Amino acid sequence: GAGVSQSPRYKVAKRGQDVALRCDPISGHVSLFWYQQALGQGPEFLTYFQNEAQLDKSGLPSDRFFAERPEGSVSTLKIQRTQQEDSAVYLCASSQGDAGNEQYFGPGTRLTVT
Amino acid sequence: RKEVEQDPGPFNVPEGATVAFNCTYSNSASQSFFWYRQDCRKEPKLLMSVYSSGNEDGRFTAQLNRASQYISLLIRDSKLSDSATYLCVVSSSASKIIFGSGTRLSIRP
């Protein structure tokens, strides 16, 4: 079956623009995670969904970041009024279980804010 | 102090060598441990889970030392294709998951 897909793969935004990043998890995977990965660093946790419920959003860096998964499948990460420090790769991962289980990552969206 | 720490490397070793990395974690309540591999400009992929009793998968051996709060990864008979960044991952709850910054490994012919 298909793996985790993300779109767009690359996004260039001008400072102040809003962006929306999409994640299609593996079908049937209950858990979905969003991460932010800066160059030379490991992925940093942003938020976690179990089905449609956002159970943990403690990693979202500011209130400009918002994530949703309304039907428990596809998820969108929205960043409002983008800033240069938002430039990073945004990774989505899905899992059959919670954080204690193997996560399958999508290819990521590389966001560049100019 | 970071919650999960790794030596960033790079480790540059000849093909066929044995190489080992450690990763320390600060939360004694951590429950699940993994090693992921990440190739340049690619997504992370699970290499192996780390079990309390230690586990082996081919040329790879992972160990957990709860008393000293570290996990290790040993790669024997290294191949050129092992060149990658190895990410240590520690989870302490259903959603609490921390990645290390990664250790870069380069295998030379």
- How would you write B28-45 as a 3-class SS string? CCCCEEEEEEECCCCCCE
pLDDT of A27 = 94
pLDDT for residue A11 = 98
Helices in A6-112 by DSSP H: which ranges?
none
pLDDT digits (tens, 9 = 90+) for B41-98: 999 999 999 999 999 999 999 999 999 999 999 999 999 999 999 999 999 887 788 9
Of B31, B44, B94, the CB nearest to A105: B44
For the stretch A37-48, pLDDT in tens is 999 899 999 999
Does residue B18 or residue B1 have the better pLDDT? B18
Confidence of residue A9 (pLDDT cuts 50, 70, 90): very high
**A68: Cα separation from own chain's centroid:** 10
| pLDDT for res B2 | 82
Both structure tokens of B44:
């992370």
pLDDT at A1: 56
**Contact assignment for A44 to B31 by CB distance below 8 Å:** no
Residues of B in contact with A59 (CB under 8 A): none
